[in-house]
């Protein structure tokens, strides 16, 4: 669910049905417009599958004040829908500096100090709106090929941001993709992490993609994200770290697969992953 509409991803009805078939009880809504935005219609389709909603996401250039009005409009729409189905979180993500569909570079890979401060200002502004007007907690998601991706950039965000208003959504796979150690980072900064995305990567595919100089979406197409049972992220260490601090937030299982080679691929992967996580003591 990368985009509201795109033939390279699973249609929303099938997506919800297969999430439930794979054994999950909660789902994200993805970007606004992917799943029905009428609250009554949404409640009906969720009830049909026995699912509840934990979040949706908004992925926009928060460092650009000229975009804040449009971002705010999208944030309000998403937060209103989330509140209507009693979903607790909205995930905010800085937009990628490459176009995720055609690979065109849209902006510099790194921001200067002033633009980084504006990014945080934009995130805090939107986070305050969803908290104060809709009772939804925003969380900020560092993401590959965005302006907050490396450990150093994330720690600068942690240093400058109001973490009561906009704490972290931490993605184990994206953190490993960007060269970090997810377990060590979580242990160091767990008090500022309210929400998790659990995924893993194939280290050999990542190394080859870096050598070839390809962008993130091409690397995803090469299947850099893999099932946790075979990836390089230390899921046993992740589980132990979560238990050590009695983590009480959501942990959402993901595997980036855009565009899907076949619509038949995601369900067996999701089901195997759910069963593997049960076997490994994740519940």
User: In this predicted model, what pLDDT tens digit does every residue of 156-168 receive, in sequence order?
Assistant: 999 999 999 999 9
Identify the pLDDT of residue 130.
98
Task: Convert 129-149 to b/e letters by CB count within 10 Å (16 or more is b).
Answer: bbbeebebbbbbbbbbbbbbb
Mean predicted confidence (pLDDT) in 121-143: 98
In this model, does residue 3 exceed pLDDT 70?
no
Place of tokens 């510099």: 108
Band (106; pLDDT cuts 50, 70, 90): confident
DSSP 260: P
Instruction: State how far the Cα of 170 lies from the Cα of 57, in Å rounded to an integer.
Output: 14
* pTM of the complete model beyond 0.85: yes
In angstroms, the CA 22 to CA 276 distance is 12
Dist. CA 213–CA 221, nearest whole Å = 14
**Mean pLDDT value of segment 234-241:** 98
Query: Which pLDDT belongs to residue 283?
Result: 87
State mean pLDDT over 166-184. Answer: 98
Reduced to 3 states, what is the DSSP secondary structure of residue 95? coil
Q: Is the pLDDT of residue 7 over 90?
A: no
Rounded average pLDDT over 255-280: 96
Residue 225 and residue 173 in contact, taking contact as beta carbons nearer than 8 Å: yes
DSSP reduced 3-state for 175? helix
**Number of Cβ within a 10 Å radius of residue 56:** 27
**Calpha distance 154→241 (Å, rounded):** 19
Average pLDDT of 65-74?
98
The span from the CA of 74 to the CA of 122, in Å, is 13
Work out the pLDDT band at 90, boundaries 50, 70, 90: very high
Question: What pLDDT does 13 receive?
Answer: 94
d(CA 128, CA 133): 8
Instruction: Determine the Cα angle at 278 with ends 273 and 283, to 5°.
Output: 120
Give residue 196's pLDDT band: very low, low, confident or very high (50, 70, 90): very high
pLDDT on residue 98 = 85
Structural domains of the chain sorted by starting position, each given as residue range(s) with its CATH number in brackets: 12-279 (3.20.20.150)
Tokens of residue 92, six digits: 């905010």
Instruction: Report the distance separating Cα 59 and Cα 69, nearest Å.
Output: 14
């Amino acid at each position: 669910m990368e985009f509201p509409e795109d033939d390279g991803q699973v249609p929303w009805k099938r997506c919800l049905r297969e999430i439930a078939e794979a054994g999950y009880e909660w789902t994200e809504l993805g970007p606004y417009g992917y799943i029905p935005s009428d609250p009554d219609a949404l409640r009906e389709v969720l009830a049909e599958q026995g699912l509840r909603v934990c979040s949706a996401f908004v992925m926009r250039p928060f460092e650009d004040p000229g975009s804040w009005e449009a971002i705010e409009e999208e944030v309000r729409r998403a937060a209103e829908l989330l509140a209507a189905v009693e979903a607790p979180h909205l995930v905010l993500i800085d937009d990628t500096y490459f176009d995720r569909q055609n690979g065109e570079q849209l902006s510099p890979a790194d921001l200067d100090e002033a633009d980084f401060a504006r990014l945080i200002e934009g995130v805090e502004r939107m986070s305050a709106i969803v908290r104060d007007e809709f009772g939804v907690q925003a969380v900020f998601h560092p993401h590959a090929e965005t302006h907050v991706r490396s450990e150093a950039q994330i720690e600068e965000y942690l240093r400058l941001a109001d973490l009561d208003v906009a704490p972290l959504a931490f993605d184990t796979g994206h953190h490993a993709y960007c060269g970090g150690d997810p377990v060590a980072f979580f242990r160091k900064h767990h008090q500022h992490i309210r929400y998790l995305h659990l995924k893993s990567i194939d280290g050999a595919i990542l190394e080859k993609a870096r050598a070839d100089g390809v962008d993130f979406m091409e690397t995803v197409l090469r299947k850099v994200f893999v099932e946790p049972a075979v990836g390089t992220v230390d899921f046993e260490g992740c589980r132990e770290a979560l238990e050590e601090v009695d983590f009480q937030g959501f942990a959402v299982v993901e595997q980036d697969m855009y565009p899907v080679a076949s619509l038949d691929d995601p369900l067996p992967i999701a089901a195997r992953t759910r069963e593997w996580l049960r076997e490994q003591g994740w519940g």
